């Protein structure tokens, strides 16, 4: 904990002072242009891998970067669904990034039938990934490594499809007011692969990458 306390002091003395005008401007309102939906994994730091400053990303994080499908009742998984609603309807973000990553614990837990005691909520949450597991099974991966790779990437595709079940998301897409991106972050190499919604393929983001249409 001492490390965190020292970090708080360093932030005020260095980072805050460097961007003092920015922080002072943020006291009035926030105006992010991107909703970043990522995994709660400690190795995934949205602002670092996107090179963004405070106020530029509206971040939603949970175990497995899961987006529950839209339901008219709206009485479940409110922490995630309400945050998506707020970012798109109230803040009017222009982009949504759904970001998964390598060595994802949630994707591994999908195949673990013995998660252990006191994980009732986690097990319930992981049930939302069962469609991912079903799609991977159809591809009959020959190894655990291949299965893991497929699960992590197909998870991103499935969550994007879940996002498209939200009426206000589809409406803004149809009106050209919103763009959706799927990212796969490879922790050990620092590479980020972007999912092309048209070709349904992932490819590494490189310099001079053109914005997805």
pLDDT digits (tens, 9 = 90+) for 13-52: 888 888 888 999 999 899 999 999 999 999 999 999 999 9
For position 210, what pLDDT does the model report?
A: 59
- Report yes or no on 19 lying in a domain: no
What is the extent of the structural domain holding 139?
31-204
Average pLDDT, the chain: 93
CATH number at residue 197: 3.40.1050.10
Contact 155, 100 (CB under 8 A): yes
Q: Is 55 exposed, middle or buried (0-12, 13-18, 19+ CB in 10 A)?
A: middle
- H helices of 35-176, in order, are 46-50, 78-85, 105-109, 120-126, 130-139, 144-163, 167-174
With a cut of 80, say whether residue 74 has pLDDT above it: no
Task: Report pLDDT digits (tens) over 139-160.
Answer: 999 999 999 999 999 999 999 9
67 inside domain: yes
What integer pLDDT is reported at residue 198 of this predicted model?
A: 85
pLDDT tens, residue by residue, 23-32:
999 998 999 9
Q: What is the pTM of this model?
A: 0.93
Domain count, the chain: 1
Assess if residue 134 is contained within a domain: yes
- The number of C-alpha atoms within 13 Å of 167 and in the hemisphere containing its C-beta is 3
Per-residue model confidence (pLDDT) at position 203:
95
Confidence of residue 59 (pLDDT cuts 50, 70, 90): very high
Q: Is residue 25 part of a domain?
A: no
Percent over 90 (pLDDT), the chain: 76
Q: With b meaning 16 or more CB within 10 Å and e meaning fewer, what string describes 31-45? A: ebebbbbbbebeebe
Whether the per-residue pLDDT at 212 is higher than 60: the answer is no
Q: What is the CA radius of gyration of the chain?
A: 18
Q: Does pLDDT of 116 surpass 90?
A: no
Q: Going by C-beta distance under 8 Å and a sequence separation of 6 or more, which residues neighbour residue 110?
A: 126, 129, 130, 132, 133, 151
Is 23 inside any structural domain? no
Is residue 15 a part of any domain in this protein? no
User: Residue 213 pLDDT more than 50?
Assistant: no
Which whole number is the average pLDDT over 112-134?
A: 91
In a domain, 24, yes or no: no
Q: Is residue 20 part of a domain?
A: no
Interval 76-99 mean pLDDT = 96
């Amino acid at each position: 904990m001492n490390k965190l306390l020292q970090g708080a002091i360093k932030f005020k003395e260095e980072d805050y002072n460097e961007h003092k005008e920015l922080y002072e401007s943020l006291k009035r309102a926030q105006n992010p242009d991107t909703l970043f939906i990522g995994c709660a994994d400690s190795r995934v730091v949205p602002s670092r891998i996107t090179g963004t400053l405070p106020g530029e990303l509206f971040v939603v994080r949970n175990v497995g970067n899961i987006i529950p499908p839209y339901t008219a009742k709206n009485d479940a998984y409110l922490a995630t669904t309400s945050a998506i609603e707020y970012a798109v309807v109230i803040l009017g973000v222009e982009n949504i990034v759904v970001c998964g990553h390598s060595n994802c614990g949630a994707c591994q837990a999908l195949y673990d039938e013995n998660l252990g005691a006191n994980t009732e909520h986690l097990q319930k949450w992981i049930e939302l990934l069962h469609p991912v597991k079903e799609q991977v099974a159809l591809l009959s991966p020959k190894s655990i490594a291949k299965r893991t790779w497929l699960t992590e990437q197909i998870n991103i595709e499935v969550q994007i499809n879940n996002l498209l079940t939200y009426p206000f998301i589809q409406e803004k897409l149809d009106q050209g007011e919103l763009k959706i991106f799927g990212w796969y972050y490879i922790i050990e190499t620092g590479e980020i692969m972007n999912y092309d919604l048209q070709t349904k393929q992932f490819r590494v983001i490189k310099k001079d990458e053109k914005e997805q249409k």
